[in-house]
Amino acid sequence: MEDDCTGPLHPKAIEGMKLFNEGKFFDSHEELEIAWNEEAGKVRDLYQGILQVAVTYLHITRGNYDGAIKVHERSLRRLKDWPDVCRGIQVGKFRKDAEIVVQQVQKLGPENISRFNPVLFKPIQWNEKRVWTCDKCGSEMYEKNCKVSCPNCGNRFDCSDLNIYFD
Ligand SMILES: [Zn+2]
């Protein structure tokens, strides 16, 4: 799975995560579904797991206790084997946040699910992969901890030299 964690994110997955963070869980699910359909690699399982958490949260906001529990269980199967950080997504934190949400829902039970506090819906955190092109030979460059290097000609620089702020 490590290998599946390099490379860029599908643009629709990014769109889906942005909508998720705005609490638009239905729209988030729609975008992630497109990413899941269009992605041929194994990372589609990760997109599906995130999608299922969006659906879990949607069920919670609609007071559907059984739906929330069922879809959360499915999401666990999709999400459990990924490293804590994959393609820049903080998967480990995301899994933990979803777990806390569902524990709280279980504590409330079907009768009181409407009292769920949506402040527990934490945003997904990720860094979008930056693509660097070598100004000497045109190859794609690798970046690690702000050190950017060209695998072809050895050209290298520090991203802080560019005077751009990345978070
Ligand atoms: Zn180069």
Q: How far is the CA of 133 from the centre of ligand 1 (A)?
A: 8
Q: How far is the CA of 144 from the centre of ligand 1 (A)?
A: 16
pLDDT tens digit string along 6-31? 888 899 999 999 999 999 999 999 99
Q: How far is the CA of 43 from the centre of ligand 1 (A)?
A: 29
Beta strands (DSSP E) in the chain are: 85-86, 89-90, 132-133, 140-144, 147-149, 156-158
* Domain ranges within the chain, ordered by starting residue: 3-120, 132-162
Query: What average pLDDT does this structure show over 112-138?
Result: 89
Length of the chain: 167
Query: What average pLDDT does this structure show over 102-112?
Result: 98
pLDDT tens digit string along 47-76? 999 999 999 999 999 999 999 999 999 999
Q: For domain 3-120, which architecture applies?
A: Orthogonal Bundle (1.10)
Q: How far is the CA of 129 from the centre of ligand 1 (A)?
A: 19
Within 8 A by CB and 6+ apart from 90, the residues are: 84, 124, 125, 126
Split at pLDDT 50, 70, 90, the class of 144 is: confident
